[in-house]
Structure 1
Amino acid sequence: MQGIKNIIFDLGGVILNINYQLTNDAFVNLGVKNFSELYTQFHASNLFNDLETGHITAADFLAEMHKHAPENITDAQLTAAWNAMLLDFPLQRLQLLQQLRQHYNLYLLSNTNAIHLDAFNNILQQSRGIPSLATFFDKAYYSHLMGHRKPDKESYQMVLDENGLIAAETLFVDDLLPNIEGAKAVGLHTIHLQSPKTILDIFRPQSAV
């Protein structure tokens, strides 16, 4: 951490626990039998990329999902299935962020979408009484509001440029290797967080400062 003044965190799998299989199971239970195949196809057809970069709306996404679900399924049911992957914010991770913020500038950079943003802030409100994840950061960046997503270099560069950060003084933490490689390409220091390790394992010495 020598020379590091800023830390940029990913969200899912780093701060927020997630389980993609739960969303797959939820869609299957609604009658979308081939969701795992659709998920792959939609990535190929840019549906999820467009959702995560704000090029389509939540309503557009739900309309597409209705094409693959039984007629009686509602928007609310599809939304709940899409959000099923979002689990919880472990208290110790939130406390660690508060401790780190005393020593570093903290930023959040998440590939997400409007549906999930509302959902995980609601989880935080219901479980911790905190209305927004932005509370823990100098600024939170969400791909659907930025128009860019990781690992595109524009996403990292936007965080650096808007806050006057120097890449050589900035650490990026993510659980996905492509995102780590994208961060390295713009000169960021990186930590590839791999299960079962958590940010508590990595930053515990600093949190005691």
Structure 2
Amino acid sequence: MLKIDSNKYKNIIFDLGGVILNIDYTLTVNAFIELGINNFEGLYSKANQNPVFDNYETGKINSNEFIKEISKQSKTPLDSISITNAWNSMLLDLPSERLDLLEKIKSKYRIFLLSNTNEIHWISYSSYLKKTYGFEDLSNYFEKQYLSFKIGMRKPNKEIFDFVLKENALNAEETVFIDDSIQHVQGALERGIMGIHLTAGQTILDLFNH
């Protein structure tokens, strides 16, 4: 697997879910199927999703509106707790060795977090971090954290990569972007950023010489 050349690259932009944090989309799909939304896989997947998810991830609708939209997909009434729990089912653990790696490389590279995420997931994720590690976000590891629902943009759109590059005066040719979704990696490549696609079984630890 490709190793990141510290002589060539000065900046690294990391995705969160599937790169730093372990996730499993099928757990959320199955949870919603159990709630009676049998077509949920057609509404939401790693590669494609219904506009309601895009709108939620870019902050165009709030959590209450998102829950109402999801509830409409069910033939029987669903309460907000059931929907929230099902939506959070995909969120798994964050192995400590990945935090150790971030701590190690942040003195060598400028590192950033760029995530398509939403308020419900962010609240759950922050709670997990607080309970497991004693802090609520990764601000001590990253120079800046860019969350789609807070900045109103999402990957793979060109504007979000341009925004991160411009705000931090980054040279695209000196920047690496790491993501587990190929369409997001393609978006970075089209902007002139070196894109690395993490596939099943690969982790960020494979990208660096220890």
Q: TM-score, normalised by structure 1?
A: 0.91
How many Å separate the matches in 2 of 1:33 and 1:181? 31
- Residue 143 (structure 2) pairs with residue 138 (structure 1): yes
How many Å separate the matches in 2 of 1:183 and 1:30? 36
The match for 1:195 is 200
Contact 1:121 1:133 in 2 (8 A): no
Give every structure 1 segment of 4 or more consecutive aligned residues whose post-TM-superposition deviation is greater than 6 Å.
Answer: none
The match for 1:61 is 66
How many Å separate the matches in 1 of 2:109 and 2:163? 19
Q: CA deviation at 1:101?
A: 0.5
The match for 1:178 is 183
The match for 2:97 is 92
Q: CA deviation at 1:103?
A: 0.8
The match for 1:129 is 134
Q: CA deviation at 1:134?
A: 2.4
Question: What do residues 136-173 of structure 1 show as CA deviations (whole Å, max 9, x unaligned)?
Answer: 20000011111111110111111111111111111111
Q: CA deviation at 1:45?
A: 4.5
Contact 2:43 2:49 in 1 (8 A): no
- Cα distance, 1:147–1:192 mapped onto 2, change above 3 Å: same
Structure 2: segments with no counterpart, 5+ residues: none
The match for 1:4 is 9
- Cα distance, 1:118–1:44 mapped onto 2, change above 3 Å: closer
- Cα distance, 1:44–1:29 mapped onto 2, change above 3 Å: closer
One-letter amino acid of the counterpart of residue 168, structure 1: E
> Relative to total residues, which structure has the larger helix share, 1 or 2?
1
Structure 1: segments with no counterpart, 5+ residues: none
* Equivalent position to 2:154, from 149, 154, 167: 149
SS of residue paired to 1:135: coil
Q: What is the aligned-residue RMSD (CA, Å)?
A: 1.5
* Equivalent position to 1:166, from 159, 165, 171: 171
SS of residue paired to 1:136: coil
SS of residue paired to 1:190: strand
More deviation in 11-20 or 44-53?
44-53
More deviation in 96-105 or 27-36?
27-36
- Residue 110 (structure 2) pairs with residue 105 (structure 1): yes
One-letter amino acid of the counterpart of residue 53, structure 1: T
Q: CA deviation at 1:179?
A: 0.8
- Cα distance, 1:121–1:167 mapped onto 2, change above 3 Å: same
SS of residue paired to 1:13: coil
Q: CA deviation at 1:193?
A: 1.3
SS of residue paired to 2:139: helix
How many Å separate the matches in 1 of 2:17 and 2:61? 21
How many residues are matched? 202
Q: CA deviation at 1:30?
A: 2.2
